[in-house]
Amino acid sequence: MNELKNIFNNIPANIQEEIFEKIISTENFFVERIISDGHKSPDNFWYDQNKNEFVLILQGSAIIKYDDGKIFYLKVGDYLIIPAHQKHRVEETSSKEKTIWLAIHY
């Protein structure tokens, strides 16, 4: 439990599918590291989550689209708070470098 870790360590060279790694988890919220490598949401797929989600780009970039057409271009240091039940999808993540996200679901 009292082990020092680094958010940028243990990243595989080749990633077939996005990696979702829970860092902290309780009944009411969880924190996860997401690693993308040119990944995007499947065609015609929309996330519709029961909890709010805070996403922060630590490395790389991403484009998130809401079902109302609003588009967010995220780069390193940018964060977005996605309200519960706001339908959204990942339109794109960087294909030049891995995108590392920190996501908090609350």
Rounded CA separation 11/54 (Å): 22
Count the Cβ atoms, other than its own, within 10 Å of residue 89: 17
For the chain, domains (ranges, CATH) are: 19-105 (2.60.120.10)
User: Is the separation of the CB atoms in 29 and 97 below 8 Å?
Assistant: no
pLDDT digits (tens, 9 = 90+) for 66-91: 999 999 999 999 999 999 999 999 99
Looking at the chain, the whole-number percentage of residues with pLDDT higher than 90 is 97
The two three-digit tokens of residue 42, written as one number: 């499947």
